[in-house]
Amino acid sequence: MIERYTLPEMGRVWSEAHKYQLWCRVEVGVLEAQARAGTVPAGAVEPVRSAPPPTPEQVAAAEAVTDHDVIAFLNAWADNTTPRSAAAYVHYGMTSSDLLDTALAVQLAAASDILVAKASRLVAVLRDHALRHAGTLRPGRTHGVHAEPDSWGHRVADFAFGMARCRDRIARARDAVAVGKLSGPVGTYSHIDPAIEAEVMAALGLRPADVATQVVMRDGISEWLAALALAATVCEAVALEVRHCQRTEVREVAEPFRAGQRGSSAMPHKKNPIRSERICGLARVVRGYLIPVMEGIPLWHERDISHSSVERIALPDAATATDYLLHLTAGLVEGLTVDTARMRANLDLTGGLIYSSAVLLDLVSAGMTREDAYALVQAAAMDTWDDGTPFRDSLRKQAAARGQRLPENALDSAFRPQRYTRRLGPVFERLARLS
């Protein structure tokens, strides 16, 4: 992931230097366990443990010769070990994927912890914003068209609960990826004892795979990436709502626009929803990695490495982009400007058409058949659409033309927007308990 979208904490998890530190940690853990079991000389442990991890530059130089990243790492690390002969017992009984999959599991678990914390912050930001605007009336929209009155808090509450579910999915997916293996070539433990695997995994905060071949099957990693893709997409849902509502014709909410910010190189009046658009774009990137990662589940026999090149790009990128998306979306909502007066003005934009469903029900309650009531209300609504006559006047006109009596008193409550939101109390009570 490019530096522009990389936050420091997540960047450290996926840095090359940190990766080699993890590789050393795994190898030292195995070496110590092997020495305690009497499989390797105890004297080999301290020289290896004291050897500094090789730098990315050292490994790259070695890999230019070996064309094999793990052997390059082992050779470069051996060069840092005094005496070098102690390094002979590093990687004893292991295969490359023992190291790669186990260290990757530690990275995925660490990345998950960061993402869960960021998602929890976003849940809190959305929750608090929604509660502040529980009574802020606005037009609800379906198909982009005014539907019925709603509250802005109700709309945001949907995002808050959605993000809470995404956070919980990431937490569950963390368990699915916190799995390593130290079972050697094709996973048969032919050169390493299962007790070594159990001991090292516990020290790393992982659990041994129930079964592994040369690699850990990639269904858990796919589950993890799917959880990230869902979280990114809920961020996109928030951003898309802001983009729609910031349009000039709507202008109900607006992104923060700081002093000195510029919206356009050509049009000085512009205040564009650039954060929201960035969120929508990056969410596509995260979703785009899911299928290539899933295709790492079916491999040739005990393993091939067709998954490896994909995961080197997809896993760090998806984690880093999702981390940035959660951070950016929280900042977007925290700084959001809500124009309550404009929301209320938009309720009246169609001359009362937004109250048609309540009118329909009130006419039925007053004794009119549903068919007659629907025909009357729809005809009046079309008149209002066509010529801008206030909806209540159109209702009177259509009722007179049909020889029907319009129960004026019964309709009074139909034109009160609070009627539509008065039963949302339980939603906001649940929202207040959301953490």
Alpha helices (H) along 289-369: 290-294, 306-334, 340-347, 356-365
Task: Classify residue 192 by its DSSP letter.
Answer: S
DSSP string, 55-117: PHHHHHHHHHHHS-HHHHHHHHHHHTSSSGGGGGGTTTT--HHHHHHHHHHHHHHHHHHHHHH
Q: Does the annotation count 154 as an active-site position? A: no
* Residue 67, both tokens: 């064309």
Angle, vertex CA 154, rays to CA 149 and CA 159, nearest 5 = 135
Q: Does the annotation count 191 as an active-site position? A: no
Considering the candidates 85, 264, 306, 365, report the single residue annotated as catalytic. 264
Provide the sign of the torsion angle of the four alpha carbons 158, 160, 164, 166, taken in this order.
positive
- Residue 149: strand, helix, or coil: strand
Phi/psi of residue 296, nearest 5 degrees: -85, 0
Calculate Rg over the CA atoms of the chain.
30
Spell out the residues 6+ positions from residue 370 whose beta carbon is closer than 8 angstroms to its own. 360, 364
Spell out the residues 6+ positions from residue 377 whose beta carbon is closer than 8 angstroms to its own. 356, 359, 360, 363, 395
Q: Which residues are catalytic?
A: 143, 264
